[in-house]
């Protein structure tokens, strides 16, 4: 056996049809089902389950008792060959569950790169997760949810199906999300509300002072005014100096306005 050959614990169960890349390790009592592809340098922890039709990129770490690519919790699912597709360098902690897609979606759940799924978090069928996302302990995503890059959802937040979580947003712990979360904003409470600009998160992600200040000004106009939101958006976007971040925020809000109950995916 070469130094880069997969290392499989004697108690692990790996289907003969599974494809394991160089340097993959599979821990005690782990299960890797059929039609699975696991990329170079991945680590599958003890008692973890990698369900059939899972495609995983490189250097992902799946901790003990996690379940990745297992059947969706959807009554319409009848065992069809649907997928979970994961990128590189994700970390899936203990007892987290990531379900594969259904035919009601496009047949796949999509996970990007360098995401952290903390213990007992759940990603349901047909979700799409971007890059650099953090789901804290016990965060629950219902089916068909989209989470854009570098969003953070704190402990026990729950997200309704077809909701969209905007880029670099911050969802407070125990928050119930029934509508889209605008990018760059902090959303907290029950019912959830936009509270302020995610200043700390933006600074950590390299946004400059001018971009952050432009979002603060837009926040005051959009969320502190009693005027119709569409009217305020038109006014903001009519200015030639509108920043890319404010433009992105305004376009996101336009899509929300067109969606069912503030969910643009149901427009």
| 180 and 242 part of one domain | no
Domain for residue 242, yes or no? Answer: yes
| 149 and 70 part of one domain | yes
| 97 and 190 part of one domain | yes
Does 126 participate in catalysis according to the annotation?
yes
In angstroms, what is the C-alpha Rg of the chain? 20
CATH number at residue 194: 2.160.10.10
Residue 231 burial (C-beta neighbours within 10 Å; 0-12, 13-18, 19+): exposed
The pLDDT of residue 69 is 98
| 195 and 227 part of one domain | no
pTM here is 0.97
Structural domain of 12: 7-203
132 backbone φψ class: left, alpha, beta (φ>0; ψ -120 to 50): left
Domain for residue 2, yes or no? Answer: no
Domain for residue 132, yes or no? Answer: yes
| 194 and 239 part of one domain | no
Q: Which of 143, 166, 201, 259 is catalytic?
A: 143
Give 25's DSSP letter.
E
Measuring CA to CA, how many Å separate 73 from each of 33, 39, 77, 122, 142? Answer: 18, 26, 8, 11, 10
Structure tokens at 45: 């922890």
Domain for residue 219, yes or no? Answer: yes
Domain for residue 197, yes or no? Answer: yes
Helix, strand, coil fractions of the chain, as percent rounded to 5? 20, 25, 55
Does 148 participate in catalysis according to the annotation?
no
Domain for residue 1, yes or no? Answer: no
Domain boundary among 203, 222, 249: 203
| 98 and 192 part of one domain | yes
Does 125 participate in catalysis according to the annotation?
yes
Domain boundary among 158, 174, 203: 203
Q: How many structural domains does the chain have? A: 2
Average pLDDT along the chain, 267 residues, taken 10 residues at a time: 83 98 98 98 98 98 98 96 98 98 96 98 98 98 98 98 98 98 96 96 98 98 93 94 96 96 94
Q: Which of 126, 130, 166, 201 is catalytic?
A: 126
| 183 and 262 part of one domain | no
Q: Which of 63, 65, 125, 179 is catalytic?
A: 125
The total number of residues shown for the chain amounts to 267
The pLDDT of residue 10 is 98
Domain boundary among 203, 237, 254: 203
The pLDDT of residue 112 is 98
| 96 and 146 part of one domain | yes
């Amino acid at each position: 056996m070469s130094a880069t050959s997969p290392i499989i614990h004697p108690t692990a169960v790996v289907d003969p049809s599974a494809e394991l890349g160089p340097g993959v390790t599979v821990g005690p009592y782990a299960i890797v089902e059929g039609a699975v592809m696991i990329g170079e340098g991945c680590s599958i922890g003890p008692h973890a389950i990698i369900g059939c039709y899972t495609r995983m990129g490189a250097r992902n770490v799946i901790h003990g008792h996690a379940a990745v690519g297992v059947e969706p919790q959807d009554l319409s699912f009848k065992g069809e060959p649907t997928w979970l597709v994961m990128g590189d360098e994700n970390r899936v902690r203990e007892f987290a569950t990531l379900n594969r897609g259904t035919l009601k979606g496009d047949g796949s759940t999509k996970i990007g790169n360098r995401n952290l799924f903390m213990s007992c978090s759940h990603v349901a069928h047909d979700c799409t997760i971007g890059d650099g996302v953090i789901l804290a302990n016990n965060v629950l995503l219902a089916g068909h949810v989209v989470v854009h890059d570098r969003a953070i959802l704190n402990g026990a937040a729950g997200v309704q199906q077809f909701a969209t979580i905007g880029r670099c947003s911050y969802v407070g712990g125990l928050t119930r999300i029934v509508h889209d979360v605008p990018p760059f904003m902090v959303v907290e409470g029950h019912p959830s509300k936009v509270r302020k600009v995610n200043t700390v998160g933006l600074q950590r992600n390299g946004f400059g002072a001018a971009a952050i200040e432009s979002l603060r000004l837009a926040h005051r106009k959009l969320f502190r005014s009693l005027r119709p939101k569409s009217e305020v958006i038109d006014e903001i976007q009519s200015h030639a100096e509108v920043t890319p971040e404010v433009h992105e925020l305004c376009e996101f809000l336009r899509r929300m306005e067109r969606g069912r109950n503030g969910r643009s995916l149901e427009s």
